[in-house]
Structures are given as C-alpha cells and as structure tokens.
Structure 1
Amino acid sequence: MARDGSVVPADPQALVVVKKKTQSSRSWILFDSMGQGTILDVDKYAIMHRVQIHARDLRILDPLLSYPSTILGREKAIVLNLEHIKAIITAEEVLLRDPTDENVVPVVEELQRRLPQSDNNHQQGDGKEYSTGQQDIEAAEEDESPFEFRALEVALEAICSFLAARTTELEMAAYPALDELTSKISSRNLDRVRKLKSAMTRLTARVQKVRDELEQLLDDDDDMADLYLSRKLASASPVSGSGAANWFPASPTIGSKISRASRASMATIRGDENNVEELEMLLEAYFMQIDGTLNKLSTLREYIDDTEDYINIQLDNHRNQLIQLELFLSSGTVSLSIYSLVAAIFGMNIPYTWNDGHGFMFKWVVIVTGVSCAFMFALIIAYARKKGLVGS
C-alpha cells in the first residue's frame, strides 16, 4: 500500500460504532466492483497517486474547506462533492470520505448493495441450466450501466433524498408556525418564523447549487462524455476476445467484462464516443427530483411572503385605527379648548361693570358654549369622513 497508510477490512456493523478518533480527515472507504468495502487511512498523496488526480481536485473534498457542490469529470476519475457525500469514482472502484459520518453510513450501505453486478446466476449447474444462466448474464450485462454510473446514481439518489427529507422537515415546522403567526402576532412567533426563514434560505441555496450543477452537466455534452470512464478506459486499452479467452479461460465473469470492454471499444471506433444518452437520462431523472424539491422550497417562500404581506396589512390596519383614534381625540381636544377659553375668560379675577346684576346669564353662556363645541366636533368629524380620513 502507499506510504503512511493502512488498510482495514470494512465491517458494515462496525461503521456505526467506530469511535470518533477514527473520523479524521484521512479516513476513506474503498469499494471495488463487487461492492466489497475496505477502510483506508491514508494521506492525500496516496489518494492522488491511486486515482491520478491533481491536488486542486482533491482539495474540493477537504471537509475543512467550504466548497460548493461539484461534479468534475477527469481523465480517469469523477470527483464528487455533494454536501456530505465526498467521493472519487473510477472505472473500477469508489473512494468515499468519512464513512463513519452518520449521514454517510446510508450511502455506504447502499453502495455495498448496488455496486455488485447482477451475475449471481452464473453459479448454476452444468448443461442446459448453465447455458441458460450464461445467456441471462450476457443479456443482463448488455443492459447494465457502467460501474461509475451505478456509483454516481447512488450518490445522486442519496443527496436528493437527503435534501428532500430536510425540505419536508422544514415544511412540517414552517406551515404550522406561519398559521400560528397569522392568528396571533407576538414576538415569540415572529422570532420563530424568522429562524425558519433563515433555515429555508440556507437550504434553498444548497438545493439550488446541486440543481445548477446537474443543469450545467446536462447543457454540455462534452462534460457528460468526460464521465464515461469505462468507455475511455476501453478506448485506451482495447482487448480482443481471443486474448481474453487465453488469459482467463475459467472466469466467465471476467470474460464478460472483457467482452463489454471490447464492445465499448468497437462503439468508440464507430464514433459513438459522443453518445451520452444513458448518462443524460440518469441526470435528467435526478434533476427533475431536485427541481421538485426546489419548487417545494419556492412554494414555502411564497407562503412566507404571503404571510408577511398579510401581517403587514394587519399592522397597517391597526395603525390606521390608531390614527383615527388620534383624530377623534385631537378633534375633541380642540373643541374643549374653546370651551376652556370661555370658562377662563369668565373665571379671571377682574372686575367687569357688565357683570354686575347679570348672574342669570351664566347658565346660558355654559349651554351655548357647550353646544358650540359639540357642533364644532361634529363638523370636524363630518369633514374627515367626507375626505375619507376616517371610516364610515
């Protein structure tokens, strides 16, 4: 093995209970074409030498650095950085980073289940049953996706399901909180909705980046062609069928692999190296799924915006009611100020000659002043209603 590295057979049950000290940035798990996992504790130079990629590509998978979701096609590998799924896929093996992470463990189990080829039937008996089994194997292999596509599909399915689950959790928390806020506007409910909106914004950005990456791949056939690692491997070293029979006479599985490589080589010679229909259909399926998740988040954002508009309308209505109340109070204050002015004039301690012998006029002054003030108050309110300043 490469320098400063160790290899430990992978145990699916042990992956869940491994101590945190093994969860270092050097921890990888290697899957071969049969789905057998092996824990690797190696440095970045050993990984670069094994899969033949540059340091800048491996730096994308560093968990200590913040890189957006990326799918890069290189000469002999696919560099995959999708949220917590950080992997390097070659034509024959998959390297997955931090296999003990709680979000990565389901990906590990799914790779172990789906990477092995559908060739269990080759262990049937001799004679007719064996021939029938071989025909079934060949038919299944002809329709089987390349190894790198099976690994890529597992990663895409895992990240789409992960983001969809986070979206569902956010919806279950957001809609009741918004409904509660519309029924009762309080500081507690406003703060709760603010936190949910912040979480939605962050999740939307993550989903949008994955969607943009898939869309960018779908828009460029050359980028999709770079992901056909098996095709490039077969075109680089084509193998003839007769040579395969001499090298592996007793291995129908390896022989079938070589026959597939030969067919891929012939397809390349015929000019089919630009045929990316299979990968395009695979990416389109998960693009539609991640786009559906993004649509759910967009619907949630619209619901939040509608709720904010409704709350603003309610607050504006309350503000208008306060303004109307202030208008009533101001009108009453102006009317009473006139009444107070008359009372103040007659209440001054100044001798008036016309005040002597006219005490009976006091009640008439009070009555006339009160009626005048009331009439002025009604006149102000009528004018305000005519101008639409207060409700009817």
Structure 2
Amino acid sequence: MARDGYIVPADPQASLKKKTAVSRSWILLDCTGEGTILDVDKYAIMHRVQIHARDLRILDPLLSYPSTILGREKAIVLNLEHIKAIITAEEVLLRDPHDDNVIPIVEELKRRLPPVNACNIQGDGRENRSGHNDVEVSEEDESPFEFRALEVALEAICSFLGARTTELETDAYPALDELTSKISSRNLDRVRKLKSAMTRLTARVQKVRDELEQLLDDDDDMADLYLSRKLATASSPVSGSGAPNWLPASPTIGSKISRASRASFATIRGDENDVEELEMLLEAYFMQIDGILNKLTTLREYIDDTEDYINIQLDNHRNQLIQLELFLSSGTVCLSIYSLVAGIFGMNIPYTWNDDHGYVFKWVVILTGIACACLFVLIVSYARYKGLVGS
C-alpha cells in the first residue's frame, strides 16, 4: 500500500555501519524471524497496528517517557529504555534498528521468534509434519508469539541494566575505598559523579520494576497482553466474525489465523482469564530487576556508610584542631601572666623595699613561672574532665 511507505529488505551488514539518526526508521520482524526495514510515518504505523497517537507518542525518541508496558486491543506498546517496540500477535515493530543497543535485540529476535513447527513453512509451500519434532517442541509451541517477543525485550533490558549496574559497582567500590584512605578534592569529585550516576540508574531500574509490579498486581492488565488469545477468539467460528480489517495488510495473512489459533489453543483452553503463563514470565524478570535494584541499594548504603565515615573523620580532625587551639590559648594566657609580672618588676621604678634585696626579683620570677605552669596544667585537666579534648 502506498500509505505504508517504502519497504526495503533488511541488510544484516547495514546494522554494523554508522548509526543514522532517522526518527522514522523501524524494523518489522514476523513470526519466521525475517526482518524488513520500514521507513514510514506514524500514521502508517498507527494504521498497521491499530493504536492511538498517544500510544505511539510514548515511543518517540525525542520525548522523555518513563518505562511503560501497555496492553492494547491488538498490540503491546513497549517502552523500556532504548527498547521501543510494538508487538502484535504475528509481528514485532522495533524502532531505530541501527542503534548500537538495539542491534543485539534484533539479532536475538530473529533467532528466537520462529517456533520450530509453527512457522517453518518453506518457500515451496511444504510444512514439516514430523511427529518427532512435534513432540520435542510441543512445549515451545504453547508459548504465544507475543510472549516470546516480550521475553526477548525483558531479557535484553535486564541484561542492559545489569551490565550498567556491574560497571557502576566496578568503578564505585574502589573509588569509595580510596576516598576512605585519602580524602582529597579529586576523590570527592569522583565519588560525587558516581553517586549521581547511581541515583539516575536507580530511578531507571525502579521504574522498570514498578511497571512489572503493576502488571503483576492486575490480572486484567496481564489478560490484555494475550494477543493470540484475542485473535483466536475473534477468528473462531463461534464468534461469527471473520478476520479483523487490518489483517490483510500483512503479507502472511493466509496462514496467520491458523498459526495463531494453534499457538494460543493451549492458552485459551477452559479459562480465558488464566494469566498464569504470563505471570510466571513477568515474575522471573521481576526477580531479576529486583535483584539489580538490591545491588544498587547495597551500593547506596555503602556510599552512605562511607559518607558517615568521612564525616566522623572530619569531626575527629575538627576536634583535634579545637584541642590544639585550646592548648595554644591556655599557654598564651599563662605566658601573658608571666610576662605581666616580669614586666612590672622589670620597669625602672624605685622601690624602697628593693634596696639591698636584689634576690627578691629573681624569686618572684621563678615562683610566677611555676604558678603559670600549674595554671596551664589545671586548665588542661579541667578541659579533659569536661570532654573538650581527648585524653
């Protein structure tokens, strides 16, 4: 269709080239793992996956939106850090496929999206009906397409945040140990930057954790993510309605309904409100994110302990300076008294009682010095008794 834009085959080598800043660039991956690069506008994307503009705005790289997982009628809108994707029951649309952080996700989707016996229809139209293969992969076929894509995204974001946390720990712990051994402006500035990076990373991890926790707490939100179940229900003869209007836009529509029905048959058996499969999937990655958050919390506590230790050291140095100042002040007072007495007796003033008694001045000076020394000891003892200086 003309309004869907110009579609070109995905070139695996193009992803290794320098990333181009094209905000309209998407990659479409179908159930066979085949990818095509789409250079389309937002209206074509909205028409293809049947979502509103406000949902697509969440995926705009120019806007800053927190991590979000939204379940819509025919799509899952996924915004997890650099992973901005739209997942339907049969295909995945991933934004900015040339981004260095997105390239590994594209490769992983190509590897893990195609089930062994649900999407192995070859170009000659023949399908492998080997009973042995069906037995081996029957467990894998029960997982709907959207859950496999969602699992790849959650695994990628957990690995990404875990790697960032490990890098931060590798830099932070030696810097904190160095700061405790030597307090300097360089070490303080280094720890300040690491603490800022830890605060930002903690906020990002916390948002992903909160989003997963919110999904786990609401069964209705989790039920909205069962796209294959909705597609199979809508296309079943019981529903009395055919395929949705948007499905013919897909190149593999001829086999989509049957494959979606097989993929979700085990999911819809008996209970349409059963969300146990998705709950186990989300809980697994919730535990990983929670573990990453615990590592950051431990790092924050270590930083806080280091700050307390530094403050104690600074208080101790401050007390030592106060102690030194007290000693100097006490010595200055005593020396002033000694100088005052010596100055009085050293003045050229005639004293009648000083005639033929020159030894008096000598003893007065000696006794004054002894008295000043005793006064200094008394002041220091009183300061120690009151806890003003260390013993």
User: TM-score, normalized by length of structure 2?
Assistant: 0.89
Give the whole-Å Cα distance in 1 for the aligned partners of 2:267 and 2:208: 32
Residue aligning to 2:176? 178
- 331 and 8 in structure 1: CA distance in 2 versus 1, 3 angstrom threshold: same
2:291 equivalent to 1:292: yes
Cα deviation, residue 259, structure 1: 6.8
Tell me the distance in 1 between the aligned counterparts of 2:36 and 2:23.
16
Other structure's SS at 1:209 match:
helix
**Aligned residue runs from structure 1 range 353-368, under 5 A:** 353-368=352-367
Residue 68 (structure 1) shift: 0.1
Aligned residue for 2:232, secondary structure, equals helix
Amino acid at match of 2:46: M
Q: How does 1:212-291 map to 2 (within 5 A)?
A: 212-238=210-236, 258=258, 261=261, 264=264, 268=268, 270=270, 272-291=271-290
Alignment-mate amino acid for residue 24 of structure 2: R
Pick aligned residue for 2:187 from 186, 189, 195: 189
8 Å CA contact 1:122–1:137 kept in 2: the answer is no
What is the CA–CA distance in structure 2 between the aligned matches of 1:139 and 1:388, rounded to whole Å?
Answer: 78
2:38 equivalent to 1:40: yes
C-alpha RMSD over aligned residues: 2.4
Cα distance change of structure 1 residues 318 and 142 upon mapping to structure 2, 3 Å threshold: closer
Asked if 1:140 corresponds to 2:133, the answer is no
- Whether the 8 Å CA contact 1:2–1:42 is kept in 2: the answer is no
Distance of 2:157 and 2:101 partners within structure 1: 10
Match of 1:28 among 26, 30, 39: 26
Compared CA separation, residues 106 and 94, structure 1 to 2 (3 A): same
From the superposition, tell whether residues 168 and 66 of structure 1 become closer, same or farther in structure 2 (CA, over 3 Å). same
User: Gaps (5+ residues) in structure 1?
Assistant: 125-129, 241-253
Aligned to 1:89: 87
Is 1:149 equivalent to 2:163 in the alignment? no
Matched AA of 2:137: A
Q: Counterpart in 2 of 1:247?
A: none
Change (3 A) 1:94 1:2: farther
Amino acid at match of 1:8: V
Where do 5+ consecutive residues of structure 2 fail to align?
123-127, 239-253
After superposition, give the CA deviation of every residue in 1:10-62 in whole Å (9 maximum; x if it has no partner): 12222121552xx3110000001101000000000110111010000000000
Question: Where does residue 351 of structure 1 map in the other structure?
Answer: 350
Does the 8 A contact of 1:239 with 1:258 survive in 2? no
Instruction: Please say which of residues 115-124 and 343-352 is displaced more in the overlay.
Output: 115-124
**Contact 1:2–1:46, Cα closer than 8 Å, also in 2:** no
Residue in 1 that maps onto 2:317: 318
Distance in 1 (alpha carbons) for counterparts of 2:263 and 2:346 = 116
Q: In 2 relative to 1, CA 195–264 (structure 1 residues): closer, same or farther, beyond 3 Å?
A: closer
Structure 1 residues 39, 259: closer, same or farther in 2, change over 3 A? closer
1:120 to partner: Cα distance: 9.1
Distance of 2:220 and 2:372 partners within structure 1: 87
Q: Judging changes above 3 Å, is the alpha-carbon distance between structure 1 residues 46 and 2 closer, same or farther for their aligned structure 2 residues?
A: farther
Shift of 1:76: 0.4
Deviates more, 1:134-143 or 1:60-69: 134-143
Q: CA deviation at 1:266?
A: 9.1
Aligned residues: 370
CA distance in 2 between partners of 1:222 and 1:176 (Å): 46
Q: Deviations over 1:163-192 (max 9, x none)?
A: 000000000000100111111111110110
The percentage of aligned residue pairs carrying the same residue is 79
State TM-score, norm by structure 1. Answer: 0.89
1:137 shift after superposition: 2.4
Indicate the residue corresponding to 1:10 in structure 2.
10
Partner residue of 2:125? Answer: none
SS of equivalent residue, structure 1 residue 322? helix
1:317-374 CA deviation, whole Å, 9 max, x = no partner?
A: 1111111111111111111111111122223343333333332212111111111101
Match of 1:74 in 2: 72
In the other structure, the counterpart of 2:246 is none
Q: Secondary structure at the match of 2:61?
A: coil
Deviates more, 1:136-145 or 1:356-365: 136-145
**Equivalent residue number for residue 157 of structure 2:** 159
1:313 and 1:64 map into 2 onto residues whose CA distance is: 46
Is the contact made by 2:144 and 2:263 (CA closer than 8 Å) also made in structure 1?
no
> Given that residues 122 and 134 in structure 1 are in contact (C-alpha distance below 8 angstroms), is that contact kept between their aligned partners in structure 2?
no
Change in 2 beyond 3 A, CA 1:269/1:2: farther
Deviation for aligned residue 1:220: 0.3
Distance 1:65-1:52 versus aligned 2 partners, 3 A rule: same
Instruction: Tell whether the 8 Å contact from 2:71 to 2:225 is kept in structure 1 after alignment.
Output: yes
Residue 358 of structure 1: SS of its match in structure 2?
A: coil
